[in-house]
């Protein structure tokens, strides 16, 4: 088989970790498989580089930042290749450019436009294991661009697709995708299978285990993903197109938490056509993503509008919203960064009434106030106080019997 194996920073924290992963790759090669390895930067290297940059420049250019951040992966690919060679496995490191990855010009969150895997094929043909630096590619003008945080997942899936690989395996420090982040909910259980839509909601609502753009790419190209642990031999989770789903499917598959959001409120803006259009157009034009929106029932020809954005966007959003508020003659602006979003996700809730009520009731029983609600066909999200976030996750997890112990009791 031709297997793409991606190892994340959490599996490459030290020289010993690199050796451990190299042994794992060696075993796969010795079983007669061809392997293309994709590596992330070691441990927290990307965060460390980012911190260094912000110490030296208030507002570093996006091009320079990408040039810098990509070096973490460049280092680990060379280190992994030399470790494999030391173990007697012929290997060669590849940067994103050498692996033929062409990206868009959006530094820091570039899309992969094309993969030309010729050089990787040439290496494989002569028995060399390519080790590709994840998270990076080059624009058509040859500048390095990175693929967004967690972007080595995308590198692996795009390469697996371009090579027509038999399997794409994403290794991290957990045994696949769980019913909730096992670091927050120790009782969370591993999921055997998830469909792309569920995984996409989970990733975009805060489950860091797979990058959202990577799951989107996998869904678009129908690349199955095998999410597994570097440190154990458990089967992990397969993410692929859902077969005809059984009616027995539980209403909620998993819970996600996003602590990095902010709630913005405009108080007392005129209740007139064009108000929301002006506000959200200006935010959209500045690349600020708005998620949940609530407009309160109008009183005295005035409305209150509240919406959520990513916490990182607050600095950019504040002057824009302030300007809109002044233009519209509104009363006040409030920005609350002490909120979190907890989401229950599952394609089993499709066409099944009463699921939202169970989520709300679980929170009510824990005296947790819901500030905003958002839904999609397979998701119910609640904005709550950040201090309540982990408890809220646990309450919903218990309400839908997602934990390992509950499952055993039910059996």
Catalog residues that contact ligand ADP under the rule CB under 6 A: 8-11, 40, 150, 172-174, 177-178, 180-183, 207-209, 254
Q: Write b or e for each residue in 136-167: b if 16 or more Cβ atoms lie within 10 A of its Cβ, otherwise e.
A: bbbbeeebbbbbbebbbbbbbbbbbbbbebeb
Closest CB to Mg ion among 213 and 343? 213
Closest CB to ligand ADP among 181 and 399? 181
Q: Using CB positions, name the residue nearest to Mg ion.
A: 150
Given 3, 4, 9, 219, the residue binding ligand ASP (CB under 6 A): 9
Q: Which stretch binds ligand ASP (CB under 6 A): 146-154, 171-179, 190-198, 221-229?
A: 146-154
- Select the binding partner of residue 135 from Mg ion, ligand ADP, ligand ASP, none (C-beta < 5 to 8 A, by kind): ligand ASP
CA 409 to the chain's CA centroid: 32
Cβ 80 vs Cβ 18: under 8 Å: yes
Cβ of residue 12: shortest distance to ligand ASP, in angstroms? Answer: 9
Given 117, 137, 150, 190, the residue binding ligand ASP (CB under 6 A): 150
Cβ of residue 379: shortest distance to ligand ASP, in angstroms? Answer: 24
Q: From CA 318, how far away is CA 261, in angstroms rounded?
A: 14
Q: Using CB positions, name the residue nearest to ligand ADP.
A: 8
Cβ of residue 163: shortest distance to ligand ASP, in angstroms? Answer: 19
Distances (CA, A) of 277 to 316, 318, 324, 334, 385: 19, 17, 11, 19, 28
Cβ of residue 172: shortest distance to ligand ASP, in angstroms? Answer: 10
Cβ of residue 231: shortest distance to ligand ASP, in angstroms? Answer: 17
DSSP-derived secondary structure for 55-100: HH-SS--HHHHHHHHHHHHHHHHHHHHHHHHHTT--EEEE-TTTTT
The answer to the question of residue 72 lying near ligand ASP (CB under 6 A) is yes
Distances (CA, A) of 135 to 9, 111, 379: 11, 11, 29
Q: From CA 222, how far away is CA 242, in angstroms rounded?
A: 11
Q: How far apart are the first and last CA of the chain?
A: 38
The answer to the question of residue 8 lying near Mg ion (CB under 5 A) is yes
The answer to the question of residue 135 lying near ligand ASP (CB under 6 A) is yes
Closest CB to Mg ion among 225 and 355? 225
The answer to the question of residue 151 lying near Mg ion (CB under 5 A) is no
- Encode 151-179 in three state secondary structure: CHHHHHHHHHHHHCCCEEEEEECCCCCEC
DSSP state of 249: S
- How many residues sit in the footprint of ligand ASP (CB under 6 A)? 13
Given 33, 121, 149, 386, the residue binding ligand ASP (CB under 6 A): 149
- Select the binding partner of residue 41 from Mg ion, ligand ADP, ligand ASP, none (C-beta < 5 to 8 A, by kind): ligand ASP
Q: Which stretch binds ligand ASP (CB under 6 A): 38-46, 78-86, 336-344, 358-366?
A: 38-46
Question: 3-state DSSP call for residue 243?
Answer: coil
Cβ of residue 152: shortest distance to ligand ASP, in angstroms? Answer: 3
Residue in 307, 300, 146 with CA at minimum distance from that of residue 211: 146
Angle between helices 314-328 and 275-285 (to 10 degrees): 150
Give the dihedral sign, CA 74/79/82/84.
negative
Closest CB to ligand ADP among 185 and 292? 185
Closest CB to ligand ADP among 60 and 182? 182
| Chain residues in the site for ligand ASP (CB under 6 A) | 8-9, 40-41, 46, 72, 134-135, 149-153
| Chain residues in the site for Mg ion (CB under 5 A) | 8, 150
């Amino acid at each position: 088989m031709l297997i793409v194996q991606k190892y994340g920073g959490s599996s490459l924290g030290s020289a010993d970790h690199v050796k451990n992963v190299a042994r794992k790759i060696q075993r796969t090669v010795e079983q007669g498989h061809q392997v293309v390895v994709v590596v992330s930067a070691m441990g927290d290297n990307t965060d460390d580089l980012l911190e260094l940059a912000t110490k030296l420049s208030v507002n570093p250019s996006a091009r320079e930042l990408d040039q810098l951040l990509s070096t973490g992966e460049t280092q680990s690919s060379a280190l992994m290749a030399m470790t494999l060679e030391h173990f007697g496995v012929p290997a060669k490191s590849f940067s994103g450019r050498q692996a033929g990855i062409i990206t868009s010009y959006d530094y820091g969150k570039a899309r992969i436009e094309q993969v030309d895997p010729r050089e990787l094929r040439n290496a494989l043909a002569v028995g060399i294991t390519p080790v590709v630096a994840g998270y990076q590619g080059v624009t058509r003008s040859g500048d390095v661009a990175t693929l967004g945080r967690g972007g080595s997942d995308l590198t692996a899936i795009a390469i697996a697709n371009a090579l027509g690989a038999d399997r794409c395996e994403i290794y991290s420090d957990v045994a696949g995708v769980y019913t909730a982040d096992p670091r927050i909910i120790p009782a969370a259980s591993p999921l055997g299978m998830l469909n792309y839509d569920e995984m996409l909601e989970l990733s975009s609502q805060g489950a860091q285990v797979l990058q959202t753009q990577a799951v989107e790419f996998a869904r678009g190209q129908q690349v199955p993903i095998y999410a597994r642990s570097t440190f154990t031999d458990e089967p992990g989770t397969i993410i692929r197109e859902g077969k005809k789903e059984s009616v027995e499917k539980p209403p909620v598959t998993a819970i996600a938490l996003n602590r990095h959001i902010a709630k913005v409120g405009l108080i007392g803006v005129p209740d007139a056509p064009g108000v929301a259009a002006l506000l959200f157009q200006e935010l959209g034009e500045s690349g600020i993503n708005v998620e949940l929106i609530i407009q309160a029932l109008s009183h005295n020809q005035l409305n209150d509008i509240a919406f959520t954005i990513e916490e990182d966007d607050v600095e950019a959003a504040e002057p824009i919203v302030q300007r809109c508020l002044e233009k519209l003659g509104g009363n006040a602006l409030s920005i609350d960064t002490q909120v979190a979003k907890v989401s229950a996700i599952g394609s089993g809730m499709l066409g099944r009434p009463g699921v939202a009520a169970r989520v709300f009731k679980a929170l009510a029983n824990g005296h947790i106030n819901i500030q905003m609600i958002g839904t999609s066909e397979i998701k119910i999200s609640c904005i709550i106080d950040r201090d309540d976030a982990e408890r809220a996750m646990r309450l919903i997890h218990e309400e839908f019997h997602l934990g390992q112990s509950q499952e055993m009791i039910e059996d």
